[in-house]
Structure 1
Amino acid sequence: MEVSNQEQKRVRLKQFLKILSEDPSLAGGEKLQNAGSLADLLVYTGYYPRNDTVDMAKVVSLLLKKLGHEAGSEDMVEHVINGGTVEEFMNKWKVGASG
């Protein structure tokens, strides 16, 4: 039985979110207190979705670029699924960072 591309994406997203929920570098949320709302992030990134559908992968990629990162959301997902933390990812992909 062949698994559809959509089903593969769904399984991968579920795996990513589970790993994120266990990521020690996100524990506590002290850094997230100033994060603002989704609407604020959309304005900050310059992303204006059509038909009220928000592509969160695109939002994350644009946010990473705004924060000075060379990588996008797919790179983050790959890093986390392969055992890395979000903190490691943020440090590794910062423009000008060695690693």
Structure 2
Amino acid sequence: MKIQNQPPQTTTTQQVDKGRQTKEARASRKKAAEMPAGGDNVQLSSLPETQLEAEQAQRVQAIKEQVKSGKYRVDARAVAEKLVSGKSGR
């Protein structure tokens, strides 16, 4: 094995700046990827999850009672229109 006497590598200011710019560019791309398109901000709900779950449980219970009593009616026309339009109603 032959060892060559080479001067130690030195880092120039340009190399440091290039490395810093690369890190900044990666951070900027990551931040941009995390943001919604167009800079829009979406907030799903301001209610606590437990309150949402409680409200959903109440709605489900009310529908169950209507089905059980025979009073629950589905608007077939509205269902068909949503199916054709591709909208789920959510």
Calculate the TM-score normalised by the size of structure 1.
0.27
Calculate the TM-score normalised by the size of structure 2.
Answer: 0.29
Q: Which has the larger radius of gyration?
A: 2
Greater relative contact order (CA < 8 Å, ≥ 6 in sequence): 1
